[in-house]
Every structure is written in structure tokens, then in C-alpha cells.
């Protein structure tokens, strides 16, 4: 179920980016369509604004070359592609493909946005303790290594979390403590929309509705009024 949800969400995200391309392109199955490399290069070109080298054909050699070009481009931007190899993408291995797309999302959207937010909050040293193993068995050196490895990710997610908390704090008792269960009620989404565009939602009325109704309403308003692609389903 988790893999199905990720695949569906990531497919919607990729298509929302490819729709900006001239001419637009689209994927129907994330695992098979990425195997040729062309759509992966299309995606990176839209995100980066750069023209990337590619083979025009679709034989095995040309597909491999296109995927290699895409991975090389990402590595040159200092992205860590751990256990992501050309052969696995050509085979359409779900865990590898999903990991690659998430890495791209994190770098081009979350990390770049969070860097701006991080400067806003001016916190040079962000707490990374939540990302490391706190069990007694974990050695200090392992903890230190994990902190260094995850610091940029924690910085990004923490900056976004601080921003979300700030938006929600303007609307009374709507609290946000994480990117998990805090969002189930739909109220944080609605609170953020209300902060960005006052008057679009009625938070008092929302507090009497079900979680699913609030989530549907939040995603609907975000799409229609804020031009935010509907990548998620309430479930």
C-alpha cells in the first residue's frame, strides 16, 4: 500500500513538472516509462532549465546512455545517489525508481525552498538528534557520522516545519509538531491556505467536519485558488 501510494503521488508530481515542458510530455507508468531515459532527461531539463545531452533512439544502448547522462548530471550537482544504478532503473525496480524520484523532489523543491526559509529563521545549527539512532548500542562515531550525513536533510525539513508551525500558530489551537500525524485532520493545510490567502476557508466550520472532508477541501482550494497541483488523495 505504501509503495502504491508513493508511486501514484510521484507520478502525479512528475507529470505536473512535465506539463511545463514544450511540448508537454506525460508518463503513465513510472516504473516502465523511466526505463528509456528520455522522460527522466525531460524532467531534469524542466527543473534545471538546462539542455542535457541525449541519444535520440530507444535501443538498449541508447536508453542506458540517457540514464547515465541523467545520473551524471545529478551527481555533478552533488546529489548522493546511494545504491541507485543504471541497471536497476532499466529494470524498473520499484524501490530504486521511487528513491531516485524522491531524491530529485527533495533537491529541486524541498531543499532549495528550505534553504531560503532557513536563512529567514537564521538558525546556523539545527538539531539533528531525531535522525540518528539513540539506542545505547549505537557508537558515538556512528551517531556523529549519521548526523553529518543527514544534516542537510534535517535542515531542510526543519526549516519547512518551522514555517508550517508559524503559519498555523496564527490560527489558535492548530498545532503542528511533525510531517506525519499532525496533518491528518486537514486543519494545518487549511490554516496555511488561510494565512496565504485570507478568506478562502472557514476554519471554525472546518473544525466540525471530518478529517477526510477537510483534506478534500484543502486540496481542492489549493488547486483552484493557489494553482498547486493536486498530488495527494485524502486517504
What pLDDT, in 10s, does the model give residues 106-146? 888 887 777 776 666 554 444 433 444 555 555 565 565 45
Q: What is residue 109's predicted lDDT score, i.e. its pLDDT?
A: 83
Closest by CA position to 43, among listed 4, 10, 75: 10
Would you say residue 150 has pLDDT above 70? no
Q: What is residue 128's predicted lDDT score, i.e. its pLDDT?
A: 39
Taking the domain 171-234, which CATH number applies?
1.10.418.10
What pLDDT, in 10s, does the model give residues 89-108? 999 999 999 999 999 998 88
Q: What is residue 164's predicted lDDT score, i.e. its pLDDT?
A: 92
Alpha helices in the chain (DSSP H): 2-18, 30-33, 38-48, 60-76, 86-90, 94-105, 112-121, 140-169, 187-196, 203-206, 211-226
Of all residues in the chain, what percent carry a pLDDT higher than 90?
Answer: 63
Closest by CA position to 190, among listed 170, 178, 177, 179: 170
Q: What is residue 159's predicted lDDT score, i.e. its pLDDT?
A: 82
What pLDDT, in 10s, does the model give residues 47-97? 999 999 999 999 999 999 999 999 999 999 988 888 899 999 999 999 999
Q: What is residue 148's predicted lDDT score, i.e. its pLDDT?
A: 45
Fold of 1-120: Actin-binding Protein, T-fimbrin; domain 1 (1.10.418)
- Extents of the domains making up the chain: 1-120, 171-234
How many angstroms separate the CA atoms of 68 and 75, rounded?
A: 10
Amino acid at each position: 500500500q505504501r509503495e502504491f501510494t508513493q508511486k501514484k503521488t510521484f507520478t502525479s508530481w512528475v507529470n505536473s513538472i512535465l506539463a511545463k515542458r514544450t511540448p508537454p510530455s506525460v508518463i503513465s507508468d513510472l516504473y516502465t516509462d523511466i526505463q528509456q531515459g528520455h522522460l527522466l532527461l525531460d524532467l531534469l531539463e524542466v527543473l534545471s532549465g538546462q539542455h542535457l545531452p541525449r541519444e535520440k533512439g530507444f535501443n538498449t544502448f541508447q536508453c542506458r546512455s540517457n540514464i547515465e547522462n541523467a545520473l551524471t548530471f545529478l551527481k555533478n550537482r552533488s546529489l548522493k545517489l546511494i545504491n541507485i544504478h543504471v541497471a536497476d532503473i532499466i529494470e524498473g525496480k520499484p524501490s530504486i525508481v521511487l528513491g531516485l524520484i524522491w531524491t530529485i523532489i527533495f533537491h529541486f523543491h524541498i531543499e532549495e525552498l528550505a534553504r531560503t526559509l532557513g536563512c529567514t529563521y537564521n538558525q546556523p545549527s539545527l538539531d539533528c538528534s531525531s535522525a540518528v539512532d539513540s539506542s545505547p548500542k549505537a557508537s558515538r562515531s556512528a551517531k556523529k557520522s549519521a548526523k553529518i550525513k543527514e544534516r542537510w536533510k534535517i535542515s531542510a525539513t526543519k526549516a519547512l516545519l518551522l514555517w508550517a508551525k508559524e503559519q498555523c500558530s496564527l490560527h489558535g489551537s492548530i498545532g503542528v509538531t511533525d510531517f506525519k500525524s499532525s496533518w491528518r485532520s486537514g486543519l494545518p493545510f487549511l490554516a496555511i491556505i488561510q494565512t496565504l490567502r485570507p478568506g478562502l476557508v472557514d476554519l471554525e466550520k472546518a473544525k466540525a467536519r471530518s478529517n477526510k472532508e477537510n483534506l478534500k477541501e484543502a486540496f481542492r482550494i489549493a488547486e483552484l485558488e493557489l494553482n498547486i497541483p493536486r498530488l495527494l488523495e485524502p486517504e
